[in-house]
Amino acid sequence: MVDTFGQNAHRIGSLVPQAGQPPKFNQLYIVDTANEVQNRISTVKRTAKVGELDPNIVKALIETMDTHNCLTKIFRKARDIHETDSCQEFSIRLKGKSKRDRQYDMPQTDEIAGLIVGDFTEDMGERDIVVRHKASGLQHISDMHPLFMTLQYPILFPYGQIGFNENIHVTNTDGNTRRREYITKREYFAYQIQTRLAEGMVIVRSKRLFHQYIVDAYTSIEEERLRWFRLNQKVIRADLYNSVQDAVMKGDTDAKSIGKRVILPASYTGSPRYMAERYHDAMAIYRWHGNPDLFITITTNPKWEEISDHLKMYGNDDPNDRPDLESRVFKMKLDELMSDFNKGIFFPRPKAGLQIGFQTNQA
C-alpha cells in the first residue's frame, strides 16, 4: 500500500475484523475458515479476460502454507483460541530480532512469533509487531523487521523464512578487507535476485509478482539510505548547507518558516544538490570545450543474445519477466560503449568527461 507521504508502506491490522466487515489479509487465517477458499477468491479482483481463480489451486496453496509455513501455524493457533473463547483477549507477537545472525535451516514457530494471552510482557523489543485481537487502526511495519517481506509475499517465502536483519555478518572469502562488518540491505536484495540453477528460484520466476517485489525492495533500500542521511546530518556537515545565509539567499527571511530540515547531499542520486552539481559540471565543460557535437543514445533490446542465452538455461522465460537481467546486461553494454568512446575506437578520444543520461523504461 501507499501511505500519506507517497511511499510504499506495509501495514497490518487486527486479528478479527470489525463488526459487519468481511475478513481480509491475515484475518482470513482466523475468521470463517470453513469458507476460507471462497473468502480468499472474493478478495481478489478479476477481469473477464483473465477469468476466475481455480478453487483447487487456492485450496492446495492453503494446505501447503498450513503444513510448512511457521507464520501460518501461529495464526492457526490464534484461530483455535478465537473459536474456543471469542471473548478472550490475546495477541500475536512477531519478534523484531532474530536469535541467530545466520540461519541455514528452516525457522521454528517459537523463534519468530509467540501468542500472548492477557497482558503484554516486559521483554518485548522496540521493533516487535504486536497483532492485537481487536483494533480499529492499522499498525505500521518497520522496513527493518526481519519479516517485512515474508508477511507481504507469503507465496515467495512459503516456509516463513526470516529476511534481512542488521546482524548478518560479512563472509570474507576473497581476502580483501571491507569497511563494513555487516551486510547492507542493497547487498542482501542483490543476492536474492541472482540466478542460481542449483537452488530454488521461486523469487526470480514469479513473473509479475517479481516486478512488485523488486519495486518494494528498491523503496526499502532508498528508505534505509534516507534514514542514514537523516540520522547523520553532522557527519555530512549539513550545517554548511543549512546556514542563515543560505536561507536568506533563498528568500526565507521569516524565521517562523525556517524549521528543522534534513539536508540531502549531492551524493544522494536524484536530490536537488545532485541535479545542480551535474548541471554545473556540464556547464563548465561546455564553457571550456564548447558545445557537444553528438547526442548518442543506447536502448535495451530484449532479444540480445546475452539475455536469450541466460533465459534458456532454466526454461525460456519471457525477457520482460526478468527486468533485473535486462538492466544488468544494459549496464554492461553501456560501460563497454563508454570504454570504446574513451579509447577513441569510433570517434576521436573525447577532450572531457561525458555526461550520461540513464533511464530505464519497463513495460
Same domain, 36 and 107: yes
Do 30 and 70 fall into the same domain? yes
For residues 188 and 144, the answer to whether their CB atoms sit within 8 Å is no
Judgement on whether residues 306 and 285 belong to the same structural domain of the protein: no
Judgement on whether residues 108 and 37 belong to the same structural domain of the protein: yes
- Write out pLDDT tens, residues 244-277: 555 555 555 555 555 567 788 888 888 888 898 8
- Flag residues of the chain having pLDDT under 50: 2, 4-6, 357-363
Give pLDDT tens digits for 136-181: 777 788 888 888 888 889 899 988 888 888 888 877 666 666 677 8
Assigned domain for 174 exists: no
Which residue, 107, 134, 165, sits at the end of a domain?
A: 165
Q: What is the pLDDT of residue 359?
A: 45
- Greatest C-alpha distance within the chain: 81
Give the containing element (helix H, strand E) for 114: strand 113-117
User: With contact defined as beta carbons under 8 Å apart, do 236 and 263 qualify?
Assistant: yes
pLDDT value at residue 77? 86
- Residue 333, H or E segment: helix 323-343
User: Same domain, yes or no, for 153 and 90?
Assistant: yes
Q: What pLDDT score does 361 carry?
A: 41
Q: Using alpha carbons, select from 270, 278, 250, 10 the residue that is nearest to residue 139.
A: 10
Please choose, from the candidates 89, 215, 74, the residue with its C-alpha nearest in 3D space to the C-alpha of residue 151: 74
- Whether residue 235 lies inside any domain: the answer is no
Question: 72 in a domain, yes or no?
Answer: yes
In a domain, 239, yes or no: no
For residue 85, which amino acid is it? D
The number of domains in the chain is 3
Rounded to two decimals, the pTM is 0.79
Is there a single domain that holds both residue 286 and residue 318? no
* Same-domain pairing of 309 and 284: no
**Is residue 89 included in any domain, yes or no?**
yes
Indicate whether 286 and 302 sit together in one domain.
Answer: no
Cell of 189: 536484495
The C-alpha cell at 201 is 528460484
Q: Of 165, 188, 212, which residue is a domain's last?
A: 165
Within a domain: 175: no
**What pLDDT score does 288 carry?**
87
| Domain limits for position 274 | 263-293
Helix (H, G, I), strand (E, B) or coil at 293: coil
Look at residue 19 in the predicted model and tell me its pLDDT: 78
DSSP E strand stretches across 28-110 = 90-94
Do 100 and 41 have their domain in common? yes
Of 228, 215, 218, 220, residue with least CA distance to 264: 228
